[in-house]
Structure 1
C-alpha cells in the first residue's frame, strides 16, 4: 500500500488489506500497555449490562491493529503525518476479523523530495460493517533523481 514513491500514486487509487482476528489476548495486552482497564473492555459481567451485551475491543486498539495492517516500506515513508476525522462507528468484539479499505484522496507536493499522501481509511469487520473511519496522512519520499 505505502510501498512506492510519492509521485507514483494517483487520487482515487484504492486497496484492501488482509485480515486479522481480534483476540482476548489483544485486549488484555493493550489494557496493560495503555493502562485502560475500563470495565467495558475487561469485565464480562459489567459488559453484559451495556448496549453491547459483551466486552468490546478498545477503539484505539482496533485503530492500532488497523495501522499494522498497512503495508509500509521504510524506504518510502519519511514520517506519519497525522489522522483527521477519526470516528469509532461500531463495536469490535473478541473474535471479529478486521481489514482495511483505503482510497487516496489527496497528494500534496511538499518539495525537498517529499510529498504528503492523504487517504480515507475504513477499518471493517467480517460482516462488512465499518468499525473505524479516518483520514490518514503520511509524508512520503519521492523518487531519487
Structure 2
C-alpha cells in the first residue's frame, strides 16, 4: 500500500492552528530593483519614490511604498503559512508605523487571534495579527488579516 508523501512547504490546515499560536517569517532585504519594479508595475510613480534628489525631510535613504513592504510580507506568509491551504483573504486592516527604505530587511511576527470553523465544507475563518519589523527590530507596519483556510482532507 502506498502512503502519500508530505508536501514540503504546505501551509497549515485550520485544525493545525490554535488561538495564541505564534510564528516568525523569514527575513527579506528590500532592494532598489524591488522598488523600481513595484512602482513601475503599480504606477506609484510618486516623486518621493522616483526622484533620488527629492527632499524627504527626516527620512534618510530611498523610501519604499508601504504597499511594497506589505506585499513582501504577504508573500513570505504565502510560502510558509497558507500555501495550498489558503482559500481567501477576506479582510485586512493596516497601520503604517515607520518608514522602510531600500536596504532595510523586513520580517514579521504572526499571532493567530481567532479561529472559527464554518458550518460547511471543512473550512475555517482564521484571524491573525501581523507585526512587521525591520532589521533593528522596530515595528514598521502592524495589521490584522482574516483568511479562510481549508481543513485537513477527510
Return the TM-score normalized by structure 1: 0.91
Aligned to 1:23: 31
Residue 87, structure 1, aligned to residue 95, structure 2: yes
Equivalent position SS for 1:111: coil
Residue 68, structure 1, aligned to residue 75, structure 2: yes
Residue 32, structure 1, aligned to residue 37, structure 2: no
1:33-82 per-residue CA deviation (whole Å, 9 max, x = no partner) reads 11011111121211x342214320111000001111111321x1112222
Aligned to 1:44: 52
Specify which of 133, 136, 140 is matched with residue 131 of structure 1. 140
Equivalent position SS for 1:29: helix
Equivalent position SS for 1:65: helix
Question: Is there any run of 5+ residues in structure 1 with no aligned partner, and where?
Answer: none
Equivalent position SS for 2:118: strand
Aligned to 1:59: 66
Give the aligned CA root-mean-square deviation in angstroms: 1.5
Aligned to 2:129: 120
Return the TM-score normalized by structure 2: 0.86
- Pick closer, same or farther for the CA change 1:2–1:38 going to 2, 3 Å: farther
Question: Is there any run of 5+ residues in structure 2 with no aligned partner, and where?
Answer: 1-8
Specify which structure has the higher proportion of strand.
1
